[in-house]
């Protein structure tokens, strides 16, 4: 009986122990369930947050559309920039052409003034003076001369000069050297090496025949240019030829006028003598 | 419209005409011409000018003497002066500018430069 009691007591103690363990297990399970619930809730919240930050399918389409639009605009921008470059190049071209036309306009205006001045008088010396002024102010000559042809004796003689004395100039026979040859052929002469040119009265740096149509009446010879004029501009060559034509006509007319004036004066004197 | 009076002092009639023709492209200019420095001074004493353009090498009185006299005249102390000359050396330019010239343009004629200088100095 005592043994039974003892066994009964032991069994009851073990049952109590088991109950205690079971209770602890139940509490632990409860805690795990709570933790599980809390974590689930947190996962849900994170998923929602991610949903908000990550675009959905329709948002992706919008992005693709916008990207396409950006590409189009980039293309458009590139085309506009190309067009701007083209317009800038055109503008530059127009500006250069404007400068060219302006220069040509200035040259023509100057030529108009020069020819107007040349034909403004019939005084031979005044005409020669005007030619000298034109060569200084329009062409930039420093030492130069006007030589006229003695048609009877076939030689050229200095009549007016600037920067040198007329007497210094040699008489040139028609056909001799550069001056004589240019007077004979009627062609313009420009020395090849302008910088290396050394002054020589028989070999000028420039020789321009004074022509009325094909008839040469003299030449303009240039021996040096102004310090600031290192070379001839394109327009100068044109200017030389045009001026030479006007100068020749002016010289020829004034010479004829002077001669006729002289003859008239002689005849008038003779008539006066006869009628007295 | 404001009218500006411009005096051109130049012994060469051809060069004077070239300058006059160039300046005629600007509106509102009244141009007076003088043959040399003395003639220029006479005109300056009787009329008021807004701009003077002068050559250097002239008979009777050269352009530098004219610049010097004009700059010493209180009534013309501020009037702009443009030199148009054959003298292309730097010393000539510096001398003219030191005497009081505002602009120094060399020959042969540079129409564009003359127009630009007149436009700028007159504030057109």
CB of B59 within 8 Å of a chain A CB? The answer is no
Mutual angle of helices A234-275 and A57-118, in 10-degree steps: 20
B-chain residues near A98 (CB < 8 A) = none
Looking at residue B18, which CATH number applies to its domain? Answer: 3.40.50.2300
Full 3-state SS string of A36-63 = HHHHHHHHHHHHHHHHHHCCCHHHHHHH
- The pLDDT tens digits for B99-121 are 999 999 999 999 999 999 999 99
User: Digits of tens for pLDDT over chain A (276 positions)?
Assistant: 566 778 888 888 888 888 888 888 888 888 899 999 999 999 999 988 877 776 556 678 888 999 999 999 999 999 999 999 999 999 999 999 998 898 888 888 998 999 999 999 999 999 999 999 999 999 999 999 999 999 999 999 999 999 999 999 999 999 999 999 999 999 999 999 888 999 999 999 999 999 998 899 999 999 999 999 988 888 788 888 888 899 999 999 999 998 898 899 899 998 988 887
Chain B environment of A228 (Cβ under 8 Å): 88, 106
Residue A87 C-alpha, separation from nearest chain B C-alpha, in angstroms:
26
Cβ of B108 and A137 within 8 Å? yes
Min CA distance, A74 vs chain B (Å)? 43
Residues in chain B, pLDDT under 70: none
Q: B21 contacts in A (CB within 8 Å)?
A: 109-110, 112-113
**CA gap A158, A218 in Å, rounded:** 9
Query: Residue A114 has what DSSP assignment?
Result: H
Domains of chain A: 119-264 (3.30.450.40)
Q: Does A78 touch chain B (CB under 8 A)?
A: no
> What does the alpha-carbon distance between residue A106 and residue A135 come to, in Å, rounded to a whole number?
16
Distance CA(B15)–CA(B110), nearest Å, equals 11
Tokens of A108: 């023509």
pLDDT for the residue A56: 58
| pLDDT of amino acid A22 | 86
d(CA A85, CA A78): 11
CB contact (8 A) between residue B88 and residue A136: no
Q: Do A226 and B88 count as a contact with CB atoms less than 8 A apart?
A: yes
pLDDT for position A1: 54
A147 within 8 A of A204, measured Cβ to Cβ: no
Task: Determine, for residues A227 and B89 on separate chains, whether the beta-carbon distance falls below 8 Å.
Answer: yes
Taking the mean position of all CA atoms in its chain, how far away is CA A1?
A: 132
Burial pattern A170-207, b for ≥16 Cβ within 10 A else e, equals: eebebebbbbbebbbeeebbebeeeeebeeebebbbbb
pLDDT score at A3 = 62
**Nearest-CB residue to B108 (from A109, A113, A139):** A139
CB pairs under 8 A between A and B: 60
Mean pLDDT across chain B, nearest whole number?
Answer: 94
Q: What pLDDT does A85 receive?
A: 96
Best to test chain A binding among B15, B18, B105, B111 (most A CBs inside 10 Å): B18
A138 touching B, CB under 8 A? Answer: yes
CB of A142 within 8 Å of a chain B CB? The answer is yes
- Tell me the residue range of the domain where B55 lies: 4-122
In this prediction, residue B47 carries a pLDDT of 93
β-pair type (A215-225, B4-9): unpaired
For A51, half-sphere exposure in the C-beta direction (CA atoms, 13 angstrom radius) is 6
Contact A133 B12 (CB under 8 A): yes
Among the partner-chain residues B88, B106, B112, the one whose CB lies closest to the CB of A102 is B112
Is the minimum CB–CB distance between B108 and chain A shorter than 8 Å? Answer: yes
Name the phi and psi angles at A248, rounded to 5. Answer: -60, -45
Q: What is the pLDDT of residue A205?
A: 96
Question: Among B21, B106, B109, whose Cβ lies nearest the Cβ of A228?
Answer: B106
The total number of structural domains in chain B stands at: 1
- Partners of B106 on chain A (C-beta within 8 Å) are 226, 228
């Amino acid at each position: 009986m005592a043994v039974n009691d003892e066994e009964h007591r032991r069994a009851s103690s073990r049952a109590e122990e088991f109950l205690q363990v079971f209770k602890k297990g139940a509490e632990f399970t409860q805690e795990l369930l709570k933790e599980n619930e809390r974590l689930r809730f947190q996962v849900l919240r994170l998923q929602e947050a991610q949903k908000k930050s990550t675009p959905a399918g329709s948002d992706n389409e919008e992005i693709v559309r916008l990207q396409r639009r950006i590409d189009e605009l980039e293309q458009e921008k590139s085309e506009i920039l190309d067009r701007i470059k083209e317009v800038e190049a055109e503008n530059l071209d127009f500006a250069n052409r404007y400068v060219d036309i302006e220069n040509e306009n200035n040259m023509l205006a100057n030529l108009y003034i020069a020819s107007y001045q040349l034909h403004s008088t019939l005084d031979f010396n005044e005409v020669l003076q005007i030619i000298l002024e034109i060569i200084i102010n329009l062409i930039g000559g420093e030492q130069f001369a006007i030589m006229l042809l003695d048609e009877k004796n076939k030689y050229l003689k200095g009549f007016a000069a600037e920067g040198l004395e007329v007497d210094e100039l040699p008489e040139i026979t028609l056909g001799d050297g550069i001056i004589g040859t240019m007077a004979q052929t009627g062609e313009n002469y420009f020395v090849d090496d302008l910088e290396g040119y050394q002054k020589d009265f028989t070999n000028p740096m420039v020789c321009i025949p004074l022509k009325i149509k094909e008839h040469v009446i003299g030449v303009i010879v240039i021996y040096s240019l102004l310090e600031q004029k290192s070379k001839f501009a394109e327009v100068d060559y044109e200017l030389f030829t045009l001026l030479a034509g006007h100068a020749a006509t002016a010289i020829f007319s004034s010479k004829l006028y002077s001669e006729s004036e002289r003859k008239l004066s002689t005849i008038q004197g003779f008539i006066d003598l006869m009628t007295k | 419209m404001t009218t500006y009076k411009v005096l051109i002092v130049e012994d060469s009639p051809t060069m004077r005409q070239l300058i006059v023709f160039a300046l005629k492209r600007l509106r509102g200019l009244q141009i007076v011409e003088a043959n040399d420095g003395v003639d220029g001074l006479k005109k300056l004493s009787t009329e008021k000018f807004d701009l003077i353009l002068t050559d250097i090498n002239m008979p009777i009185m050269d352009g530098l003497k004219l610049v010097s006299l004009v700059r010493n005249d209180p009534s013309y102390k501020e009037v702009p002066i443009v030199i148009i000359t054959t003298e292309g050396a730097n010393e000539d330019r510096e001398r003219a500018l030191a005497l009081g010239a505002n602009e120094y343009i060399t020959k042969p004629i540079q129409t564009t430069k003359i127009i630009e200088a007149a436009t700028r100095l007159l504030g057109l």
